[in-house]
Structure 1
Amino acid sequence: MIKGKSTYNHLVKLLAVSEAIWWSLVLICYVLVPFDSWGVKLLHSEMLGLWLLIPALAALSWIQWRWKARIYEQYSGYGSTRMLWVKFEPVKAFLHYFLLRSTYFFIVLAMAQPVAGSRKVNGSKRVLDLVICLDISNSMNTKDMGGNQSSRLTAAKQAIGELLNQLKGERIAVVIFANDAYTQLPLTMDYGAAKLFVPDIETSMISDQGTNIGRALEVAQDQFKDTESGKAILVITDGEDHEALWKQQLEKLKKKHVELAYLGLGSTKGGLIPNNPYDESEGYKREYGHAVVSKIDKQGLTRMASASGSILVTSDSPFPNIYDIATNYKNAKNKQVMKVEFKVDKNYFYIPATLALLCMICYFFLPIIINPDKS
């Protein structure tokens, strides 16, 4: 049996030398020879900060060794019977620390997830391209929603915002139309951008007034360039289509398997169309000396929906319920399965994890592996 002080001093030196060698090698590997030069990178390099706890483990081991050395010195003259519980083998003590420290070291390295190279993976995803056609004819300024609380255009913007909140993964585009139509927002999955664009839409954006739903459907189809995606169009309007050109587009929509839906806004009682939506004191639209009363054209909307077998939802609420429309778009039958091939990093976390497991096994079986000397 080695005496306490000499044992303690031997262990401290062994600890200092081993740690110096260990961290010198780590420093060389991580700084002087960066992982990038090996084609290796760490997905979560911030996890390496947990290595800073290793000095705390070394400090605890040092405190324990010093305590054992003092106890050993105190009872060294009381015979082997009193010394059984204070046996102090330096090799075993150091290996216990080394294996425990190494286990923790490799676990942290595994958590950092070293990756190198990539591999191809085949998969599939369900995709849907949705184009929202928003009517911005002057009649959409009529305030007959919710008992004259807000305009149809305001309610339409509210409906689009709620729809965006319910969609997940669909690409969306926005087309504005009156007598002509324009793409306001091309297809995107950036719902945040859409939520910024939509509130700024006003009826003054198109000077050529009227309600040409057929033209809106024609412009909307220009967004469907990805043949592998599901296709859908949502028309938000008060239904006063003065052009009746939408029938010409139905056959094209059927050939392209485009699903069509309508959201009709306005009340059956109707309301006046303001000349200036921001200042009603400028009066209302008049024809033949009489104020024009704009009403939702439910018959026209029903006719259009029936002709294409489309969903039709009408509302006179300032917060239209678009649950049925959103549910229909989220339904898997409306989405096409598109095969995709993508690359993923080759993750080698299992190598340090295996080393950690081996160190832990050796830690538990160390008393069997090493037979301590008996004094």
Structure 2
Amino acid sequence: MFHFHSPVNFLILLIIPVWYLWVQKRKRSVIRFSSLSGIKMINAPSPSAIRWFMQMLRLFAFALVVTAFARPQAVEAEREYETKGIDIVLALDISGSMLAEDFKPINRMAVAKEEAKKFVKTRENDRIGLIVFARKGYTQCPLTLDYQILNQLIDDIEIGLIKDGTAIGLGIATAVNRLRDSTAKSKVIVLLTDGENNAGNIDPITAAELAKSFGIKIYTVLIGKGGLVPFPIEDPIFGKRYVQAEVKIDETTLKRIADITDGRHFAATDPEALARAYKQISQLETSEVKVKEYSSFRELYHLFLIPGILILLCEIMLTNTIFLKLP
């Protein structure tokens, strides 16, 4: 985009017609010769043509300089538009049970992280945050549009960062705290866990009611199944081996959480089912969000000023040398 910062300076061009009228009123100077025999043989251009050319050259230089005074500028990225987006917080269970390797050939945690990153890639113009919870809940990433940083922080998640346990209610409350001041029309928590609430001082149903009071939907995802599941252990003698351990789940509570907040519940017992769950969640409603872009201005006056000065100097030089008029 191109514009002039000071277009009022173009009024200076009004000097041109005034100058033209003044030139027309000037009396032409003549030189008397006792005889024309000495200059008859000179093959010179018409004096009137020379005068016209020099006048046009001077006017062109003047116009270029005035254009420079008007400060032409190139405007880059000057626009304001509205896009559709929602605010989403991913709440991820990182308790020890997420190490279960019933999602062969990798464990639940690895699958959950991979599908979370795929989910992020499907979103555009949505602010997405990340909280993790075990015995306590922590914010891994506040709401952001920088998906590259978000995916890096998802990769950084490790089991054992928080003391073991499954505080579902505390995880929901931590996510609500990130969304409560949001002005987005749609606010969503995607809660992914593989167990039952066994830690924290906030009941999951109470946390769901809190989310509802802030207009937040919760989509619950149960990853894996209950009962005996294989867990890897490091044996100092035999190396890595697997043991069967009991995992308790509470799908009823997860369904109630989704119902209370007008969300939905999904059960994923394999990677494909988890991918389908995220795909359905990705089809959420969207709301209008105004996005502003700052404008940058690049001065272009030198493209007119320098040629104008050079042409003016050329005109002055020609007028006082080759096309010098005798008095």
Among candidates 225, 233, 242, match of residue 198 of structure 2: 242
Tell me how far 1:194 sits from its aligned partner.
0.5
Task: Give aligned-pair identity as a percent.
Answer: 22
In the alignment, residue 179 of structure 2 is paired with which amino acid?
Answer: F
SS across alignment from 1:149: coil
Find 2:60's aligned residue among 22, 40, 47: 22
The Cα offsets for residues 27-50 of structure 1, whole Å up to 9 and x where unpaired, read as 6754xx583xxxx63215xxxxxx
Of stretches 154-163 and 295-304 in structure 1, the one that deviates more from structure 2 is 295-304
Q: Distance in 2 between matches of 1:8 and 1:164?
A: 77
Alignment of 1:131-280 (within 5 A): 131-145=89-103, 148-206=104-162, 208-229=163-184, 230-243=186-199, 245-267=203-225, 271-275=229-233
Letter in 2 for 1:219: T
Q: Which protein has the bigger helix share?
A: 1
How far apart are the structure 2 equivalents of 1:234 and 1:247? 16
What CA distance in whole angstroms lies between the structure 2 residues aligned with 1:315 and 1:247?
A: 22
Cα drift, residue 23 of structure 1: 5.4
Task: Return the alpha-carbon distance in structure 1 between the equivalents of residues 291 and 90 of structure 2.
Answer: 30
TM-score if structure 2 supplies the norm length?
0.61
Q: How many Å separate the matches in 1 of 2:139 and 2:117?
A: 18
Is it true that 1:43 corresponds to 2:63 in the alignment?
no
Displacement of 1:308 after TM fit?
4.0
Question: Who is 2:8 aligned against?
Answer: none
User: Within 1, Cα distance between the matches of 2:46 and 2:241?
Assistant: 98
Distance 1:169 1:160 in 2: 17
Gaps of 5+ in 2: 1-42, 298-327
CA distance in 2, matches of 1:312, 1:192: 28
Instruction: Tell me the distance in 1 between the aligned counterparts of 2:116 and 2:88.
Output: 12
Within the alignment, does 1:311 sit opposite 2:264 as a pair? Answer: yes
Q: Please give the TM-score of this superposition, normalised by the length of structure 1.
A: 0.54
Q: For structure 1, list consecutive stretches of 5 or more residues without a partner in the other structure.
A: 45-112, 286-290, 348-375
Q: Is the 8 A contact 2:127 2:143 kept in 1?
A: yes
Q: CA deviation at 1:138?
A: 0.9
Describe the SS at the equivalent of 1:262.
strand
Deviation at 1:294, TM superposition (A): 3.5
Cα pair distance change 1:271/1:188, threshold 3 Å: same
Q: What amino acid sits opposite 1:26 in the alignment?
A: L
Over residues 88-107 of structure 1, what are the superposed CA-to-partner deviations in whole Å (9 max), with x where a residue is unaligned? xxxxxxxxxxxxxxxxxxxx
Cα deviation, residue 181, structure 1:
0.6
3-state secondary structure, aligned to 1:169: coil
Provide the alpha-carbon RMSD of the alignment.
Answer: 4.0
Cα offset for 1:305? 3.1
Amino acid at match of 2:117: G
2 CA distance for matches of 1:10 and 1:190?
Answer: 69
Report how far residue 162 of structure 1 moved: 1.4
The change in CA–CA distance for 1:171 and 1:282 in structure 2 (over 3 A counts) is same
Within-5 A mapping of 1:15-164: 18=56, 22=60, 25-26=63-64, 29-30=67-68, 33=69, 35=71, 41-43=73-75, 127-145=85-103, 148-164=104-120
Q: CA deviation at 1:214?
A: 0.3
CA contact (8 A) 1:270 1:296 kept: no
| Structure 2 letter corresponding to 1:198 | I
